[in-house]
Every structure is written in structure tokens, then in C-alpha cells.
Amino acid sequence: MQERIKELVDILNKANVEYYLNDNPFLSDNEYDSLLNELAHLEEKYPEYKLPDSPTSKVATKVISKFEKVRHNTPMFSLSNVFNEEEVTDFYQKIVKDYPNSEFVCELKMDGLAVSLNYEKGIFVRAATRGDGVVGEDITHNVKMIKTLPLKLNKPVDLEVRGEIFMSKKSFNECNAKREIEGLPLFQNPRNAAAGSIRQLDSKIAKERDLDIYLYHIPSTTYKTHYETMEYIKELGLPVNPNLKLAKSLNDILDYIDYWTTNRPNLPYEIDGIVLKLNDIESQNALGSTAKYPKWATAYKFPAEEVITKLSDIIFTVGRTGQITPNAVLEPIKVAGSTVKRATLHNMEYIKAKDLKIGDYVYLHKAGDVIPEVVGPVISRRNGNEKILQMIKNCPICNTPLVKSNSEIDYFCPNDLCPARNIEGLVHFVSRNAMNIDGLGDRIMEDFYNMGIIKNFKDIYELKKRKQELIELEGFGTKSVENLLDSIEESKNNSLERLLFALGIPGIGQKTATILAKKYKDIDNLKNANEEELQQINDIGEILACNVSTFFASPANRILIRELQELGINTTYHGEETIENDIFTNKKFVLTGTLSFIKRDELKKIIEKYNGEVSSAVSSKTDVVIAGADPGSKYDKAVSLNIEIWNEEQIRKILEDLKEI
């Protein structure tokens, strides 16, 4: 029996490879199904003989209870970006200067999600998402369902290999067509659909969704070149994108980019750029990486797609502070992977500067590939019927006459009781950086406000009294109400700075809220601070000091604070919050030499804030040595122990990216 099981597994796995990878089926669907059936029966009868690479594990689905964390053996890097020919040339020349005659591998940049796979003795054992690059999440159960991924390699090797999970355009369209029939919300683009399928506890969904994968990187390859490594990945039986190319010159690279810029629409899947990788592995290692990116590779990103659509109207919305914002109402159009119907136009000056009129055809793109932005009107398509926007005089929600800001640019609704302002204020109160309450999105908040369930901050904390009523509301269930109430309870323990930010005092952002919380420790101390005293604090000017003291002088606000305290909301400062990131967290640093832009003490504090450790001596346990000018013997020791060294430029860049300097 064991023999037959093995035989069936071999035939069926081979049939899978030929069918999905080589487009060369040798079994009919019927033959395949009947062999698979036979195997499933035998495995059921003799579970002790079931093989780890059995194709039945691609059939039987698995439900997990939560995503386990997985620490990557080597960090999963992202790629730096270049956006035009000049930057590609720069990248190329910088490398060729030190490594003359270098060759590069050009690859398509798959628009999916990165994954790290582990095989042990040739058998697939684990798949993990990138996560923060150091720790990802175990998605083995879903990745197993990818039809083109073999569960057994052609060689019994231990392997960590990386690639991209994606969904073809065809599967994406089919998936959305099905969702439309079922009345489910549609996915915006194939990447979202792929990511949504992978982030499921039940692998039945990934199985139905028809995902695909290409592998493109082995972190610890033993081959001399990336090209040979890719050949090896193929030999192992893993899917590799066939369009990779070896470029021997800058011209070859630019030709490849040109070719795919034109031919991109003909591909059966979405790509968002071209990846360039230095071919020689020894040179790759010598070049090394920054904290985030390898220096031997980069991604050329295709220019942001620009489309033309009609600006059918401009409507005004009211923000939490009463600020009035004009918004473009656009004829829905697909741009950079999603459908856009609205875009902010910021203020009247912006509209004037761009010469936008209602009825115009406008150029539209996504800034940073995310936020829709109206670029300007297509003047040649004007027909004379376009209308200049007139600023409104009254609040579109409560009809109160608007007032102008000091800068004379913005308009405000001055009515503290304006429903639009109140709803925005409530949405801000629960938002992630404020009280961080899950389950009260914009829509729900608006509904709750209109139904009279939440009219003010206090009502949020009294929701638990209305648990049964909430459960009975349409669209809610016991579980979601319980999760919401748990999240509300949890938010009571937030440190003071979150509450100060959440209250929405004009001009008080996260940074100022933290400064005030640190200085006053308790809201009861802060509420009695006078304006002069507040002005003495660094970073707090006249206006902010006035806003804070005005807020706390208001009897209504003093009552609000007291009521929140009575409801059990913490109003004290917890102390320095540590933040996790993949650059500093859980790593040991040693500082040596002088840095021109920051004192050692300050740098130490920043590293500790991110849960990193700073020690005085270099040892094999040290992760990184940060070396300024005239470093001492610690530098030599780091070199001899092969420890990563960051110079002044690198640490400055990291701190700048983190907005620490």
C-alpha cells in the first residue's frame, strides 16, 4: 500500500508540474481526478503512510485560529526606487565605478505581496509574509493552495526562497464578477485581491481565488551570480518569471525598461516597475545594504498613470475644526489600480491657482501612487459651459454663516454644535493615533450620531449599557459588538497624550500633546496651567498656549474632563512609550566616534525609545556599530568581527526618515 501511495503522489505531483508550470498536461482531467481519488481513499485508510508532499494537501482546506509570528532567518528587504532614466543611469554608474564590467539582471516587478518560503529536505514546510521585514506571519495553509507551487522540490535541499504572490488579471476579473453576483464589495485591484485572500484564516478562500507565485531571490545563495541562482530555482521546479534578462550594459537596461513600458498591458498580470539586480553575488555582498534596502538592487517604478475625467461638481465638506474643504466630484475613473470618484481640492486658492472650473475635463493622477490628485484642466476640451466655483456663504450642514481664517485662505463654520463638526470630532477621537478604538469607522459613527446613540465622547464609554440594542442593529452581531466594547474598555488605559490629542484642541497635534503630557503628567495639572506658563515651553507658541488655556477655561470642557475621569478614563502620563521598528528594536548598538549632527546621549535615547539597546563594548553579540568621525578601537573590532557598521550619513538618513531629526 505504501508503495502505491508513493507512486500516486509522484505521478500526481508530476502531472501538476506539467500542467501548471510547463503547459504540457499528460493526464486527462478524468484520469487525474480518479488517481487523486484513489490516493485520498488510501490516505484515509492508512493515514500513517500519508506523505508530506501529497497533492491531497492542496485539496483539503485548513482553518487556523490566528496567524502565528515567524522570525525570518535573514531580514526581508524592500527595494529602493528610481523614477526616470537619469536615476537609473546614476544607480548603474555608481556600481560600475567600483565594479567595472558589471552585469545586471532585469526582472519584472510583480505587483503582489512578498513571501518567504522554507523547504526542508526538499519538502515545503512554511510560508511567511514580510511583516516588518524581521518578523512576518505564518501563511503556510494558504500558500499550500497555490496550484503552481510544488510541495516537493526536484532536489532534497534545505532552502529559504523569496518571491511574490499575485493574482492574474483574468482570475481577478473572474473573482470580482463572482463577487458582484453575490453582492459582495469588489476588490480594487489584483494586488488587494491577492492580499485579501492570503490574509484569511480559512484556506478554502485562497484555494478558490486562484493565486499564483513567482520566486526571485535566495538570500544565501551559493551560486556566483543571481542569474545562475534563478536557473537553480527553476531546476528545483519552482515557478520563475520567464521574462528576466541579463543586461551587459546601461543600454541593455534602458531597452528592457522601454520594451516593458510599452508591452506591459499585454502581460496576463500586473507589474508596477522593473527590478534591476547586480548579477555578481560577491559584489552584491561587498556593497551590502542600508537598514531597509540592498544597495545592489533597485526598482524602476513606472510613472504614475495619468487619466482624464470630468469634474462634474465641487462640493464642500466640514471638518472637525469647522474648516470648509472643497472636494472634486469626478466621473468615476480607474487610475493606478482603483476607481476614483472624489479628490480634495484643499481650498479656494488651490482651485484658483489651478484654474479649475465645474464641468472641466481634468488630468488626474495618484500622488505617491495613493492619493488621488487633480493635476489641472484640459483647456482644449472646454466648450464655454464651464462654471467658475462660487464660494458658499453658509455652512452646508448647519447653515451658520461661515467666517474666514486669519490667513484669509480658509473658511470655517463657527458653530460648535454643527453636526458635521461633531461627527468629525468623534471620528478623530476614536482614530488610531488618538484613543485607538476599533470598530467605529466613519460610516458607523455617522449612523450612531444620527440615531442619537453617540452624541459626545462620554456616550462612547456608556455604549456598554446599550449592548443588547447594538447587537440587534442591522449589520452588527454579538461578536462585533463585543470586540467594539472591548476596544473601548482598553482605550481607557491610554496614556494622557492620546487623550489630549483626541480632544481635538485646535492646533494640538500628536507632538504637542506628547510635550504637554510629559511636562504636566496629569490633566488636572495641565487644566490649571495659565497661558504665560504654557508659552515658556519649547515648541509652544502664543497661539497654541492660548488655545490650550481657552479650552480648559471653558466650563463645559472642565465638566467633560471630570465626567471622563468618572467613567474610568486614565488622564495621567504613562511615561516614554517605546515603539517597535525593524531598524532598532531588539538590536544591540555600540556608538563610537563623533557625529556632527547629534549628541551621543540623544542618539542613545532615540535608540532606546525604539526598544534598541546601546552598550559600551563591541562583542559578537553587537548587531551594529554606529561610527562617527575619528572612531576608536571599537571600529577596528567591529571590522574584525564582521559586524555591520553605519556611518554618519546612514544614521542621519535613518533618523530623518523616522522624523527624529
* Residue 277 bears catalytic tag: no
Question: Cβ 295 to ligand IVH, closest distance in Å?
Answer: 10
The amino acid at residue 639 is V
Residue number with CB closer to ligand IVH (290 or 480): 290
Residue nearer to ligand IVH on the CB measure, 219 or 359: 219
Segment 146 to 175, residues that bind ligand IVH, using CB under 6 A: 164
| Per-residue contact string for residues 516-555; x = within reach of ligand IVH by CB under 6 A | ----------------------------------------
Give, as ranges, the residues between 215 and 234 that touch ligand IVH (CB under 6 A). Answer: 216-217
**Which segments of 120-189 does DSSP mark as H helices, in order?**
140-143, 169-182
Residue 641 beta carbon to ligand IVH: minimum distance, rounded to whole angstroms: 24
Among 233, 297, 420, 503, binds ligand IVH (CB under 6 A): 297
Q: Compare residues 272 and 373 and give the one whose CB is closer to ligand IVH.
A: 272
Residue from 275, 445, 505, 651 touching ligand IVH (CB under 6 A): that is: 275
Of residues 105 through 124, those in contact with ligand IVH by CB under 6 A are 107, 109-110, 114
Residue 108 bridge partners (DSSP) = 274
Dihedral of CA atoms 334, 337, 339, 343 in degrees, nearest 10, equals -100
To ligand IVH, the closest distance from the beta carbon of 82 in angstroms equals 12
* Shortest spacing between CB 506 and ligand IVH, in angstroms: 39
Neighbouring residues of 111: CB distance < 8 A, sequence distance ≥ 6: 166, 189, 190, 191, 269, 270, 271, 272, 337
CA-closest candidate to residue 75, choices 290, 247, 396 = 290
Beta carbon nearer to ligand IVH, 110 or 484:
110
Q: Give the nearest distance from C-beta 114 to ligand IVH in angstroms.
A: 3
User: Total residues contacting ligand IVH (rule CB under 6 A)?
Assistant: 14
* Of 62, 97, 109, 144, catalytic: 109
Print the binding letters for residues 61-90 with ligand IVH: x by CB under 6 A, - otherwise: ----------------xxx-----------
What is the Cα–Cα distance from 245 to 249, expressed in whole angstroms?
Answer: 12
Residue in 264, 511, 272 with CA at minimum distance from that of residue 368:
272
Q: Which residue shows C-alpha cell 513571501?
A: 115
162 or 365, CB closer to ligand IVH?
162
Minimum distance from CB of 191 to ligand IVH (Å)?
10
Binding status of residue 294 toward ligand IVH by CB under 6 A? yes
Identity of the residue, 281 or 595, whose beta carbon is nearer to ligand IVH in the bound complex? 281
Tally of CB atoms within 10 A around 103: 18
CA dihedral (307, 312, 316, 319) in degrees, to 10, reads -30
CA distance 144 to 62: 10
Map 194-253 to HEC letters: HHHHHCCCEHHHHHHHCCEEEEEECCCCCCCEHHHHHHHHHHCCCCCCCCCEEECCHHHH
Nearer to ligand IVH, 297 or 590 (CB): 297
What values do phi and psi take at 138, rounded to 5?
Answer: -75, 115
Task: Report the residue number whose CB is nearest to ligand IVH.
Answer: 114
- Separation of alpha carbons 496 and 427, rounded Å: 19
How far apart, in whole angstroms, are the C-alpha atoms of residue 106 and residue 82? 14
Q: How far is the CB of 579 from ligand IVH (least distance, A)?
A: 22
For ligand IVH, which stretch binds (CB under 6 A), given 103-111, 223-231, 489-497, 624-632?
Answer: 103-111
Residue whose C-alpha cell is 508596477: 272
List active site positions. 109
Q: Interface residues with ligand IVH (CB under 6 A)? A: 77-79, 107, 109-110, 114, 164, 216-217, 275, 294, 297, 299
